[in-house]
């Protein structure tokens, strides 16, 4: 049993004993309990303020109106502690699969990550079935932040359809949300839609010690780690322009004008620039081939809408479910999948900037024959 599991178990036992007034002598439990309780309180406080602890989040309440009120087995792994423990086999059920529906309002608590099965975990499976190995403690994170569905589903959906034929009622496809492990793995995971004949970067080898989820993220607060023994942000060791989280988007190391707007901006801004060009390319292509103009609003489900007035933006009125864009051709479905892939990991610019840029560049290039948007001036990393 690992130290982490031991701590949690010891604390639970110790606290239970303390509460069990009269049946034990104070001296037997008080000393270890105090020490451990102090440490545990610190971890618990950090966790309590995190998104994982937020029982009111939509991610843990999406199924509340279902009858029965539970999370289907297919979704439970990442949206409940019961489902995650079931997946790990920590509840005594078969490991590697969810056997029972999960509970709603059951956020990611201590028992999800601290059990023997979680301690032993070293690999995670991505949404396309590919396994990432040798992940250490970050395997826990990668198991949920791995995507649901993949570009393989796109390939299957377009089988037998000519590249520029409209697929009736076809909705945009994506790999779900916050799939940071899929971004980080790049071509080693293959979760983006990778165009044949092109080569893609693999796992982002950043620098020591910022190569894994838990090296950068405090596993409890989820915020960026501090420099050990100091209160300074870990990133500031190497990126002198970073003082706090507001500054990540200013980091600029590559010094390349990827989006071809004539200025070398931060990695974040270059990616945002490339994204805007991809949206424009999809709009241009769809106007030529689909009979409707594609528009994108990353804040409003289902994100793809018809830009009815063709002004290049999706207004609140246009972002209506009934106005969903459903005139995808295979060529468009692939490019739109990549747009979603880089958008739904808002930290793609940190997790694997080059992979994100390559996918977008190739998507723009593939649409260019009909979109009126060329890759002239753009740089493929
Ligand atoms: C591989 C892990 C995984 C699986 C399986 C999974 N999800 Fe998610 N889901 C996530 C993560 C991570 C988020 C990010 C949470 C957020 O942004 O609120 C998320 C977010 C969501 C959200 C919130 C989106 C938002 O805009 O806030 C919904 C709704 C959702 N998932 C539905 C589902 C449904 C339905 C299923 C089953 C068909 C499912 N999920 C299966 C990992 C998963
Ligand atoms: C999302 C997963 C996750 C959740 C939820 C979580 N932990 Fe942790 N915890 C970790 C990981 C990973 C580590 C190891 C950190 C390291 O050593 O880099 C850790 C370390 C610890 C440690 C230190 C033990 C050691 O090995 O150094 C304690 C104590 C602890 N957690 C308690 C808790 C408590 C109490 C809760 C609930 C309030 C909690 N954790 C919730 C993932 C989690
Ligand atoms: C059992 C599934 C699960 C595991 C394990 C898990 N996460 Fe999450 N994570 C989620 C879900 C679901 C959300 C969205 C929660 C919400 O919307 O409140 C999320 C949110 C996040 C966020 C976004 C925080 C924010 O403020 O928006 C970060 C960062 C994160 N997780 C990192 C990690 C790290 C690092 C680990 C490993 C130590 C980890 N996660 C393990 C499911 C998981
Ligand atoms: C180089 C350090 C680093 C590594 C490695 C890293 N992250 Fe991140 N991640 C960050 C930073 C910094 C942010 C916040 C970015 C921001 O606020 O714009 C972030 C954001 C996130 C988010 C939230 C995105 C959002 O804005 O809602 C999730 C979820 C996440 N990371 C999960 C992971 C997981 C899982 C891994 C491992 C597969 C991982 N990260 C690896 C630094 C890292
Ligand atoms: C130990 C030094 C070190 C630390 C700590 C570090 N980085 Fe980096 N970072 C680098 C190096 C070196 C590169 C260039 C890597 C490359 O291009 O292959 C880089 C590149 C980047 C890039 C640009 C990627 C690109 O290809 O343009 C971003 C964004 C970034 N780091 C964010 C962060 C964040 C956020 C943190 C803190 C969580 C962080 N870094 C911590 C050394 C570090
Ligand atoms: Ca199981
Ligand atoms: Ca630029
Ligand atoms: Ca409009």
Residue 84 placed within a domain: yes
Contact by Cβ (8 Å): 294, 325: yes
Same domain as 288, residue 198 = yes
Domain with 36, as residue range(s), is 3-48
Of 253, 254, 255, nearest to 263 by C-alpha is 255
Number of domains in the chain: 3
Contact yes or no for 281/328 (Cβ under 8 A): no
Predicted pLDDT at 31:
57
- Atom 3 of ligand 3 has which residue's CA nearest to it? 144
Assess whether 109 and 201 both reside in one domain. Answer: no
Alpha-helical runs (H) found in the chain: 3-19, 26-48, 73-79, 81-88, 110-113, 116-120, 138-144, 151-157, 180-185, 213-216, 267-289, 330-343, 348-351, 353-371
Helices 26-48 and 3-19 pack at an angle, to 10 degrees, of: 120
For residue 335, report the distance from its CA to the centre of ligand 3, in Å.
27
Are residue 259 and residue 328 in the same domain, yes or no?
yes
pLDDT of residue 36: 83
Backbone φ and ψ for 355, nearest 5 degrees, come out as -65, -45
Q: 179 with 328, same domain?
A: yes
Q: How many helices (H) and strands (E) does the chain have?
A: 14, 4
List, for residues 1-10, the tens digit of each pLDDT value: 444 554 554 4
Asked whether the predicted pLDDT for residue 17 surpasses 80, the reply is no
Q: Which helix (H) or strand (E) element contains residue 124?
A: strand 124-125
Strand pairing partners for 217? 224
280 and 187 within one domain: yes
How high is the pLDDT of residue 198? Answer: 98
241 — pLDDT class (breaks 50, 70, 90): confident
Contacts of 227 (CB under 8 A, 6+ apart): 233, 234, 236, 237
Task: Look at residue 87 and tell me if it is in a domain.
Answer: yes
Of the residues 56, 78, 80, 180, which should be mutated to test ligand 1's pocket, given the most ligand atoms within 8 Å of the CB? 78
The whole model's pTM is what?
A: 0.94
Interval 141-160: pLDDT, tens: 999 999 999 999 999 999 99
CA of 295 to the centre of ligand 1 (A): 23
Examine the domain organization and report whether 184 and 310 are in the same domain: yes
**Res 12 pLDDT > 60:** no
């Amino acid at each position: 049993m690992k130290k982490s599991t031991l701590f949690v178990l010891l604390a639970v036992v110790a606290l239970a004993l303390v509460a069990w007034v009269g049946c034990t002598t104070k001296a037997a439990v008080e000393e270890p309990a105090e020490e451990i309780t102090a440490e545990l309180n610190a971890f618990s406080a950090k966790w309590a303020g995190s998104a994982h602890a937020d029982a009111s989040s939509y991610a843990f309440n999406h199924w509340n109106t279902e009858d029965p009120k539970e999370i289907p087995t297919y979704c439970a792994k990442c949206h409940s502690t019961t489902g995650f423990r079931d997946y790990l086999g920590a509840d005594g059920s078969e490991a590697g699969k969810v056997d029972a529906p999960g509970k709603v309002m059951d956020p990611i608590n201590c028992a999800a990550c601290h059990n023997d099965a979680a301690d032993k975990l070293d690999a995670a499976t991505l949404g396309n079935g590919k396994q990432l190995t040798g992940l250490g403690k970050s395997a826990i994170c990668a198991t949920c932040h791995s995507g649901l569905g993949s570009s393989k589903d796109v390939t299957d959906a377009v089988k037998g359809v000519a590249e520029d034929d409209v697929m009736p009622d076809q909705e945009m496809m994506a790999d779900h949300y916050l799939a940071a492990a899929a971004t980080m793995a790049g071509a080693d995971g293959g979760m983006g839609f990778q165009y044949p004949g092109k080569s893609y970067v693999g796992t982002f080898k950043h620098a020591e010690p910022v190569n894994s989820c838990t090296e950068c993220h405090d596993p409890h607060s989820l915020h960026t780690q501090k420099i050990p023994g100091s209160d300074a942000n870990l990133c500031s060791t190497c990126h002198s322009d970073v003082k706090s989280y507001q500054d990540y988007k200013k980091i600029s190391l590559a010094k390349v004008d990827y989006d071809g707007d004539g200025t070398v901006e931060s990695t974040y801004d270059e990616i945002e620039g490339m994204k805007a060009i991809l949206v424009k390319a999809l709009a241009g292509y769809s106007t030529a081939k689909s009979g409707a103009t594609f528009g994108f609003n990353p804040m409003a489900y289902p994100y793809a809408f018809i830009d009815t007035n063709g002004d290049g933006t999706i207004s609140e009125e246009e972002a209506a479910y009934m106005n969903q864009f459903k005139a995808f051709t295979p060529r468009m479905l692939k490019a739109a999948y990549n747009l979603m892939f880089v958008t739904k990991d808002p930290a793609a610019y940190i997790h694997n900037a080059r992979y994100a840029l390559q996918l977008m560049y190739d998507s723009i290039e593939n649409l260019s024959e009909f979109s009126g948007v060329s890759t002239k001036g753009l740089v493929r990393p």
